[in-house]
């Protein structure tokens, strides 16, 4: 029996190449289809990951802790004390990689020439370094040296708008905890450049220590951002933190930034729809080709049956031919896609659309990201649906009546 | 010609199953393309429409350089007269002047930094839907009234309600302090918290007085219903202005290049997918065309021997492909238009769309665009590709020699 299988396998492979031109044409369709699926998946995945990473880095973190009511009304009154023991214990979970406490309030920054509304962030320089984009984005001047550093870091675009420059002074105004306007002069010690205008114009960074002192906050902060070793732990840690901190508002990234979550979900859904559409487009061609191959061998199949081969054997053989066709196409398709991804290197440059990309929080280069999951799904769709559709020609072949089949020319 | 046509038609139905399957592939492709292109264009219309309608306007007259670097000093003298000149010169009725500033807005308890917009009380509702979204109180009553209209989210953050007074504190055009105390007469609610928090509107003459504008303003906003004629409108406005050194007339896409680029990028990605899809379909049907020619080698040999020119036989083969494609496309277009018409009247919505819609100020469903471009560009692409595919088998006929061809089975 085992020998029988080797035989039909060899037979199927040879049958496939009886009409090389036809096989090559349909292989082209399959390769192109597989390539389109995988490359589009890599592009979407790259985009979706980039949006996610950018969002997490953009001061979001995986989880944030606030005083109740802060999110709807982000003012200085709604603060939490970093020194409470419950908080310290809750943040000890091993999955928690980094935590950063921040003062985050609306403020106005003014130069001699102009003023702008910003979000003032008082950050702990050491903790924030691994938490968000700010440390690695300072391109001019320097990042804060210690928690009492009295300087301010502004975005490149904001500095341009304010017509000021590194080393010059700006005045920061905000409401302090007594509902009075607190203002103070700061020297610009660093300028950050993220290539995203909205980010560059909306934040002003000072150190946490300075902010707490300026706003009479003591050890209070507005938020604590938590970064986990992997985003998959979010729900688990979220549960733990909520149980441990009943008086505080603990929110995951996907609630804080629903849009990013929505982008991810939409991309995943649309990738699968795309697979199905591509498959449908090639499905017609595959069925037609195999059907043709079956009908021109009507005599041969009739002869096989007359010689005593079971219809199931014929079904299996035709099916095996389709399997070989599909796997060959997929193998080449995967290889070509892999080469395409390799050839694009860091990704494709979409800087021609840079302002459009900003609107959806993307950078100017989109990397292609091939994941095993995407590869498996794309290949599985083609293989499973392909084999299912090829049951039709295989079944037609097996149903031929020997006497009629042989007499047909 | 008549004989060739009949011959082609009959040839098609010699193998009805194959012809039908091929037609299915083409028809399916046409329906799919009509649906996706219609939806894509419909989505763009919606994005542009709501962006233009809510606040921005279809066109704006600004000082050159204001868009890139919006400074208070980059202003236009005698803005109200300019708006009137545009109204009279072009016949457009939906024209309104604005002045933009920035201030710290304080209530008894809170202070926020927001944009302050001076608007023409009577004309603003014609160019923007925001005044119509005033849910409490009423919109501004005249150009010099002591009134302010604010968004619901800002009202909540400032902890104020209708009738409360707001203090505006900012920098005037000449750098002096600008201050005003105004009662809230209306609260608008657009559903987008960011937009509702981003600005307060006051009457334009009140604005000019407060900010020391001396009749200056920053933009004249023009709205017209037919977005596609935007460049014509632009020319008309420029003619009405006469020589206008230092002023520019900007269209919606120049005002918001990000939106335009996002649409362009999405459109290119869309076309990449469509072309790949049509290419896959083409490869699928190339086999059918090829088979139908190869299996008739003998017949063509006889025709050649009878004196038919290879060119005529090639034409016959092309005609077969053309008839098949046109027939399938006609059915595809009918089905595609039917599907799009259904969604045009019922609207298409999907999970998560409502959240997205809220964030971007869009309606919660998409209407496919019903235009000749939307309906025919997909099928046209298919027609080009299939005819290219038919060209190869048709050209092969030239290689046949009558004697050898007739010997073939």
Task: Tell me the nearest-neighbour CA distance from A262 into chain B, angstroms.
Answer: 7
pLDDT tens by residue, A34-51: 999 999 888 888 888 888
What separation in angstroms does the CA of B100 have from each of A74, B53, B222? 25, 18, 16
pLDDT tens by residue, B105-116: 988 888 888 999
Q: What is the pLDDT of residue A307?
A: 87
Number of folded domains that form chain A: 2
Last residue of a domain, one of B178, B200, B223: B223
Per DSSP, helices labelled H in A123-257 are: 125-129, 134-137, 156-161, 197-202, 208-214, 234-244, 253-256
Q: What is the pLDDT of residue A159?
A: 94
pLDDT tens by residue, A163-207: 999 999 999 988 877 777 888 999 999 999 987 777 888 999 999
pLDDT tens by residue, B89-132: 999 999 999 999 988 898 888 888 899 999 999 999 999 989 98
Q: Which domain holds residue A197?
A: 68-247
pLDDT higher for A367 or B64? B64
Residue B38 lies in a domain: yes
Q: What is the pLDDT of residue B355?
A: 65
Q: Same domain for A155 and A227?
A: yes
DSSP A122: E
Number of folded domains that form chain B: 2
Last residue of a domain, one of A247, A274, A295: A247
Look up residue B133 and give its two tokens. 């979204």
Residue B245 lies in a domain: no
**Mean pLDDT, rounded, for A398-408:** 74
Q: Same domain for A87 and A232?
A: yes
Q: What is the pLDDT of residue B140?
A: 94
**Mean pLDDT, rounded, for A65-69:** 91
Q: Same domain for B188 and B281?
A: no
Q: Same domain for B163 and B285?
A: no
Q: Same domain for A304 and A393?
A: yes
Q: What is the pLDDT of residue B181?
A: 95
Q: Which domain holds residue B151?
A: 59-223
Residue closest to A233 by CA, chosen among A62, A392, A45 = A62
| Residue A29 at interface with chain B, using a CB cutoff of 8 Å | yes
Q: What is the pLDDT of residue B244?
A: 85
Decide if A277 and B277 are in contact by the 8 Å CB cutoff. Answer: yes
Asked if residues B353 and A263 have their Cβ atoms less than 8 Å apart, the reply is no
Q: Same domain for B32 and B68?
A: no
Q: What is the pLDDT of residue B104?
A: 87
Residue B253 lies in a domain: no
Sort out which chain A residues have CB atoms less than 8 A from B355's CB and list them: 258-259, 262
Q: Same domain for A96 and A188?
A: yes
Q: What is the pLDDT of residue A1?
A: 52
pLDDT higher for B172 or B335? B335
For chain B, the maximum distance between any two Cα atoms, rounded to a whole number of angstroms, is 102
Asked if residues A293 and A391 have their Cβ atoms less than 8 Å apart, the reply is no
Q: Binning pLDDT at 50, 70 and 90, where does residue A305 land?
A: confident
Q: Same domain for A51 and A84?
A: no
Q: Binning pLDDT at 50, 70 and 90, where does residue A3 land?
A: low
Question: Chain A 297-356, CB below 8 Å of chain B: which residues?
Answer: 350, 352-356
Q: What is the pLDDT of residue A30?
A: 92
Q: Same domain for B40 and B81?
A: no
Indicate the residue of B17, B29, B295 with minimum beta-carbon distance to A281. Answer: B29
Indicate the residue of A108, A259, A353 with minimum beta-carbon distance to B359. Answer: A259
Residue B239 lies in a domain: no
Q: Same domain for A121 and A243?
A: yes
Indicate the residue of A26, A258, A355 with minimum beta-carbon distance to B258. Answer: A355
The answer, yes or no, to whether residue A359 has pLDDT greater than 70, is: no
Q: Same domain for A75 and A15?
A: no
Q: Same domain for B202 and B86?
A: yes
pLDDT tens by residue, B304-357: 888 888 888 888 989 999 999 999 999 999 999 999 999 888 887 766 666 666
Average pLDDT, chain B: 88
Q: What is the pLDDT of residue A357?
A: 66
Q: Same domain for A171 and A227?
A: yes
pLDDT tens by residue, A216-254: 888 899 999 999 999 889 999 999 999 988 889 999 999
Look up residue B326 and give its two tokens. 């046109």
| Residue A204 at interface with chain B, using a CB cutoff of 8 Å | no
Q: Same domain for A224 and A101?
A: yes
| Residue A154 at interface with chain B, using a CB cutoff of 8 Å | no
Which segment, B41-50, B266-275, B315-324, is predicted with the most confidence on average? B315-324
Sort out which chain B residues have CB atoms less than 8 A from A109's CB and list them: none
Residue B237 lies in a domain: no
Residue B233 lies in a domain: no
Query: Which residues are CB-contacts of B104 (< 8 A; sequence separation ≥ 6)?
Result: A108, A173, A181, B111, B112, B113, B168, B169, B170
Question: Chain B 88-127, CB below 8 Å of chain A: which residues?
Answer: 102, 104, 109-114
Look up residue B38 and give its two tokens. 């219609």
- Three-state SS across chain A? CHHHHHHHHHHHHHHHCCCHHHHHHHHHHHHHHHHHHHHHHHHHHHHHHHHHHHHHHHHHCCEEEECCCCCCCCCCCCCEECCCHHHHHHCCCCCEEEEEEEEEEEEEEECCCCEEEEEEEEECHHHHHCCCCHHHHEEEECCCCCCCCCCEEEEHHHHHHCCCCCCCEEEEEEECCCCCEEEEEEEEEEEECCCCHHHHHHEEEEEHHHHHHHCCCCCEECEEEEEECCHHHHHHHHHHHHHHCCCCEEEEHHHHCHHHHHHHHHHHHHHHHHHHHHHHHHHHHHHHHHHHHHHCCHHHHHHHHHCCCCHHHHHHHHHHHHHHHHHHHHHHHHHHHHHHHHHHCCCEECHHHHHHHHHCCCCCEECCCCCHHHHHHHHHHHHHHHHHHHHHHHHHHHCCCHHHHHHCC
Task: Tell me the nearest-neighbour CA distance from A139 into chain B, angstroms.
Answer: 22
Q: What is the pLDDT of residue A85?
A: 87
Residue A150 lies in a domain: yes
| Residue B388 at interface with chain A, using a CB cutoff of 8 Å | no
Q: Same domain for B120 and B186?
A: yes
Q: Would you call A154 helix, strand, or coil by DSSP?
A: strand
Q: Would you call A68 helix, strand, or coil by DSSP?
A: coil
Q: Same domain for A305 and A369?
A: yes
Indicate the residue of A108, A292, A356 with minimum beta-carbon distance to B258. Answer: A356
Last residue of a domain, one of A215, A247, A279: A247
Query: Where is A148: in which H helix or E strand?
Result: none
Q: What is the pLDDT of residue A311?
A: 86
Last residue of a domain, one of A247, A278, A311: A247
The answer, yes or no, to whether residue B84 has pLDDT greater than 80, is: yes
Q: Same domain for B188 and B331?
A: no
Residue A254 lies in a domain: no
Task: Tell me the nearest-neighbour CA distance from A286 into chain B, angstroms.
Answer: 7
Q: Same domain for B192 and B306?
A: no
Q: Same domain for B15 and B111?
A: no
Last residue of a domain, one of B223, B244, B276: B223
Q: What is the pLDDT of residue B353?
A: 65
CA pair distance B217, B235, nearest whole angstrom: 22
Average pLDDT, chain A: 87
Work out the burial of residue B49: count CB atoms within 10 Å of its CB; fewer than 13 is exposed, 13-18 middle, 19 or more buried: middle
Query: Which residues are CB-contacts of B323 (< 8 A; sequence separation ≥ 6)?
Result: B8, B9, B12
Residue with tokens 């006469």: B242
Q: Same domain for A243 and A115?
A: yes
Residue A318 lies in a domain: yes
Q: Binning pLDDT at 50, 70 and 90, where does residue B359 land?
A: low
Residue closest to A34 by CA, chosen among A376, A403, A323 = A376
Q: Would you call B360 helix, strand, or coil by DSSP?
A: coil
The answer, yes or no, to whether residue B362 has pLDDT greater than 70, is: no
Q: Same domain for A99 and A221?
A: yes
Q: Same domain for B161 and B79?
A: yes
CA pair distance A109, A120, nearest whole angstrom: 9
Residue A252 lies in a domain: no
Last residue of a domain, one of B223, B247, B276: B223
**Mean pLDDT, rounded, for B17-30:** 89
Q: Same domain for B346 and B320?
A: yes
Q: Binning pLDDT at 50, 70 and 90, where does residue B190 land?
A: confident
Look up residue A37 and give its two tokens. 């699926």
CB contacts < 8 A (A, B): 151
Asked if residues A23 and A324 have their Cβ atoms less than 8 Å apart, the reply is no
**Mean pLDDT, rounded, for A391-406:** 81
Q: Binning pLDDT at 50, 70 and 90, where does residue A16 land?
A: confident
Sort out which chain A residues have CB atoms less than 8 A from B39's CB and list them: none
Question: Among A265, A288, A378, which would you mutate to test the B interface (most chain B Cβ atoms within 10 Å of its Cβ)?
Answer: A288
Q: Same domain for B39 and B130?
A: no
Decide if A357 and B25 are in contact by the 8 Å CB cutoff. Answer: no
Task: Tell me the nearest-neighbour CA distance from A267 into chain B, angstroms.
Answer: 12
Sort out which chain A residues have CB atoms less than 8 A from B257's CB and list them: 355-356
């Amino acid at each position: 029996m085992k020998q029988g299988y080797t035989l039909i396998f060899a037979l199927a492979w040879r049958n496939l190449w009886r009409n090389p031109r036809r096989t090559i044409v349909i292989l082209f369709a399959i390769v192109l289809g597989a390539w389109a699926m995988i490359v589009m998946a890599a592009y979407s995945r790259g985009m979706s990951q980039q949006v996610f990473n950018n969002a997490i880095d953009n001061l979001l973190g995986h989880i944030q802790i606030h005083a109740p009511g802060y999110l709807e009304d982000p003012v200085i009154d709604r603060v939490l004390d970093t020194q409470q023991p419950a908080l310290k214990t809750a943040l000890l979970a091993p999955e928690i990689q980094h935590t950063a406490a921040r003062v985050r309030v609306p403020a106005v920054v003014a130069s001699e020439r102009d003023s702008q509304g910003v979000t003032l962030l008082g950050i702990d320089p050491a903790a924030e370094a691994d938490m968000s984009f700010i440390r690695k984005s300072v391109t001019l001047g320097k990042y804060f040296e210690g928690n009492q550093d009295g300087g301010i870091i502004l975005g490149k675009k904001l500095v341009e708008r304010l017509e000021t420059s590194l080393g010059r002074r700006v005045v920061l105004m905000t409401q302090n905890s007594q509902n009075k306007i607190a203002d103070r002069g700061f020297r610009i010690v660093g300028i950050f450049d993220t290539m995203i205008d909205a980010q560059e114009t909306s934040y002003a960074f000072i150190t946490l220590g300075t902010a707490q002192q300026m706003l009479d906050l003591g050890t209070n902060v507005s938020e604590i951002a938590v970064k986990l070793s992997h985003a998959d732990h979010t729900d688990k840690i979220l549960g733990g933190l909520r149980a441990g901190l009943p008086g505080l508002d603990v929110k995951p990234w996907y609630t804080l930034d629903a849009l990013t979550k929505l982008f991810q979900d939409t991309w995943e859904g649309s990738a699968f729809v795309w697979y199905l559409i591509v498959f449908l487009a090639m499905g017609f061609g595959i069925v037609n080709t195999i059907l043709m191959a079956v009908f021109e061998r009507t005599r041969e199949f009739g002869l096989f049956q007359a010689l005593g081969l079971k219809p199931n054997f014929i079904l299996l053989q035709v099916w095996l031919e389709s399997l070989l066709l599909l796997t060959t196409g997929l193998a080449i398709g995967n290889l070509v896609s892999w080469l395409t991804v390799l050839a694009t290197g860091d990704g494709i440059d979409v800087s021609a659309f840079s302002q459009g990309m900003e609107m959806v929080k993307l950078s100017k280069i989109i990397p292609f990201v091939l994941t095993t999951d995407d590869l498996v799904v794309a290949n599985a769709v083609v293989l499973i649906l392909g084999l299912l559709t090829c049951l039709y020609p295989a079944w037609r072949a097996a149903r031929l009546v020997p006497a009629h089949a042989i007499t047909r020319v | 010609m008549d004989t060739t046509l009949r011959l082609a038609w009959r040839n098609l139905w010699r193998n009805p199953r194959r012809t039908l399957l091929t037609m299915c592939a083409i028809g399916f492709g046409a329906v799919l393309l009509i649906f996706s292109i219609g939806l894509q264009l419909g989505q763009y219309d919606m994005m542009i429409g709501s962006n233009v309608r809510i606040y921005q306007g279809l066109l704006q007259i600004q000082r050159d350089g204001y868009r890139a670097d919006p400074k208070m000093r980059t202003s236009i003298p005698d803005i109200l007269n300019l708006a009137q000149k545009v109204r009279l010169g072009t016949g457009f009725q939906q024209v309104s002047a604005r002045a933009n500033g920035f201030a710290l807005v304080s209530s008894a308890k809170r202070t926020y930094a927001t944009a302050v917009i001076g608007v023409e009380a009577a004309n603003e509702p014609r160019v923007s839907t925001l005044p119509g979204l005033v849910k409490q109180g009423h919109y501004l009553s005249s150009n010099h009234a002591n009134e302010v209209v604010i968004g619901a989210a800002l009202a909540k953050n400032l902890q104020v309600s209708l009738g409360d007074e707001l203090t505006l504190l900012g920098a005037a055009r000449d750098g002096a302090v600008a201050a005003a105390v105004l009662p809230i007469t209306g609260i608008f609610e657009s559903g987008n918290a960011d937009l509702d928090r981003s600005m307060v509107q006051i009457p334009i003459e009140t604005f000019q007085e407060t900010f020391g504008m001396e009749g200056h303003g920053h933009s004249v906003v023009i709205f017209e219903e037919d977005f596609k004629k935007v460049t014509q409108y632009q020319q008309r406005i420029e003619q009405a202005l006469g020589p206008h050194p230092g002023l520019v007339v900007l269209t919606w896409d120049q005002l918001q290049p990000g939106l335009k680029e996002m649409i362009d990028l999405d459109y290119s990605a869309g076309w990449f997918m469509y072309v790949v899809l049509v290419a896959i379909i083409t490869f699928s049907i190339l086999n059918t065309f090829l088979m139908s020619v190869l299996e008739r080698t003998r017949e063509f040999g006889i025709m050649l021997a009878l004196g038919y020119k290879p060119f005529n036989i090639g034409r016959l083969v092309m005609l077969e492909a053309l008839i098949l494609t046109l027939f399938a496309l006609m059915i595809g277009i009918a089905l595609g238009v039917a599907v799009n018409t259904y969604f045009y009247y019922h609207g298409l919505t999907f999970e998560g769309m409502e959240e997205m819609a809220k964030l971007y100020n869009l309606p919660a469903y998409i209407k496919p665009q019903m235009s000749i471009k939307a309906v025919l560009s997909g099928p046209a692409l298919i027609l080009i590709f299939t005819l290219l595919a038919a060209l190869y088998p048709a050209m092969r006929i030239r290689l046949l020699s009558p004697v050898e061809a007739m010997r073939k089975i």
